[in-house]
Homo-oligomer: A and B are copies of this chain.
Amino acid sequence: MKAAFVDPMGLENLKIVDLPEPQAGPGEVLVAMKAASLNFRDLLAVKGGYGSMQKQEKLIPLSDGAGEIVAVGDRVRGWKVGDRVVGTFFPDWQVGPLRFESVATDLGGRMDGVACEKRVFRQDAIVKLPDHLDYAEGASLPCAAATAWNGLVEQGKAGPGDRVLIQGTGGVSLFALQFAVMAGAEVYAISSSAEKLALMKDLGATHLVNYREDAEWGKAIQKLSKGRGVTHAVEVVGGDQLKQTLRAMSLGGYISLIGVVGGNRSELNLPVFSMGGLRMEGASAGSKASLQKLIDAMAIARVKPVLDRQRFKLADLKAALEYLASGKHIGKVIVDIA
């Protein structure tokens, strides 16, 4: 079977190779991959890892993939050939809070990923796709959507009547926007262009600020919310911008800290945080139970992910990753397989 392979690590070493077809052992299923989606973290992983992440010597990249079960091993219960499934980001995180054991492995990071025609999954490391999502849509969920869900809904408990700040049109942000609307909250959107803000409005944002035109956007958000501030923020920027987020918050507001595209370090004004009774919590892709519930919620609300217009083939994965790096995409970048 065809598979993308990096050996040694480095985007320049990413090649499509022929590998022997894997087989499902006891408790495992074999999935014919149909689509994958790209995350910024895949770029880092291909380049050799990031943060505390264990460096691999070689890797089949990508964490997010969906496909069809084509074989089931012994002792598999609840799955059958033909089932449409998506893999979980952390195979060992089934349920409950973050623990060392649960994040020790992640697809396309500390273990091989989904950029291949066939892949074996443990039967408890996949979730069924709902009818209203096709493979590409399903493949967009395990990392970005799950992180947005985990941060804003599971941990932050955003709900009806809340006011949620969404930053830009990256993968996590657009999902967070959709989840906020789905949960009955009001969305305050900031972005860098009228086009992007128009997309955010289409998805349900009702208060829009172009941060290129208004560097003091935290103040603008306060004004738009009539001095109440937002009850929740999904922070994907970090760096210097965090101080604007703090300014935009209501008393007791909740910041879901997810990404740091604007820089790994922020200077935090502690009295503002402390006297405001603010709350901040780190979020990651979460458990299988969390992914299952997010998929249930999308099925109930008939919500579909936003996919970038440009689609790639597995053979063009390198180009796809370079496209992601360019920042020209809006919505998830999809790689169709087979």
Q: Taking CB as reference atom, which chain B residue is nearest A276?
A: B282
Report whether B270 and A265 are in contact in the complex, using a CB–CB cutoff of 8 Å.
yes
Given contacts A96-B289, A100-B251, A161-B296, contact A270 B278 (CB under 8 A): no
Report whether B159 and A157 are in contact in the complex, using a CB–CB cutoff of 8 Å.
yes
Given contacts A95-B99, A182-B184, A183-B160, contact A274 B293 (CB under 8 A): no
Q: How many residues of A contact B (CB 8 A)?
A: 58
Given contacts A95-B95, A97-B252, contact A281 B278 (CB under 8 A): yes
Q: What is the count of identical protomers in the complex?
A: 4
Per-residue interface assignment for chain A, residues 93 to 120, with 1 indicating a CB less than 8 Å from any chain B CB and 0 otherwise: 0111111100000000000000000000
Q: Report if A268 contacts B (CB, 8 A).
A: yes
Report whether A274 and B284 are in contact in the complex, using a CB–CB cutoff of 8 Å.
yes
At the interface with chain B, which of A11-19, A28-36, A256-264? Answer: A256-264
Report whether A280 and B283 are in contact in the complex, using a CB–CB cutoff of 8 Å.
no
| Neighbouring B residues of A52 by C-beta, 8 Å | 275
Q: Report if A279 contacts B (CB, 8 A).
A: yes
| Neighbouring B residues of A252 by C-beta, 8 Å | 97-98
Report whether B280 and A279 are in contact in the complex, using a CB–CB cutoff of 8 Å.
yes
Per-residue interface assignment for chain A, residues 176 to 197, with 1 indicating a CB less than 8 Å from any chain B CB and 0 otherwise: 0001001111100000000000
| Neighbouring B residues of A133 by C-beta, 8 Å | none
Alpha-carbon distance between A242 and B157 when the two chains are bound, in angstroms: 27
| Neighbouring B residues of A282 by C-beta, 8 Å | 273-279
Most chain B CB atoms below 10 A, which of A98, A267, A294: A98
| Neighbouring B residues of A273 by C-beta, 8 Å | 257, 280, 282
Q: Report if A238 contacts B (CB, 8 A).
A: yes
Report whether B275 and A269 are in contact in the complex, using a CB–CB cutoff of 8 Å.
no
Report whether A300 and B251 are in contact in the complex, using a CB–CB cutoff of 8 Å.
no
Most chain B CB atoms below 10 A, which of A97, A160, A268, A273: A160
Q: Report if A306 contacts B (CB, 8 A).
A: no
Q: Report if A51 contacts B (CB, 8 A).
A: yes
| Neighbouring B residues of A287 by C-beta, 8 Å | 96
Report whether B266 and A270 are in contact in the complex, using a CB–CB cutoff of 8 Å.
yes
Chain B's nearest CB lies how many Å from the CB of A270?
5
Q: Report if A271 contacts B (CB, 8 A).
A: yes
Given contacts A184-B182, A275-B284, contact A264 B260 (CB under 8 A): no
Other 8 A-B pairs with CB < 8 A, given A157-B157, A257-B270, A280-B280: A97-B252, A160-B294, A160-B297, A258-B274, A264-B271, A273-B282, A274-B284, A276-B282
Interface of A with B (CB < 8 Å)? 51-52, 94-100, 153, 157, 159-161, 179, 182-186, 206, 238, 242, 251-252, 257-260, 263-271, 273-284, 287, 289, 293-294, 296-297, 300-301
- 10 cross-chain CB contacts under 8 A: A51-B271, A98-B277, A153-B159, A182-B184, A257-B270, A260-B270, A260-B271, A264-B271, A266-B268, A280-B281
Please list the 5 inter-chain residue pairs (A to B) with the smallest Cβ-Cβ separation, ordered nearest first: A96-B96, A161-B297, A160-B297, A95-B96, A274-B282
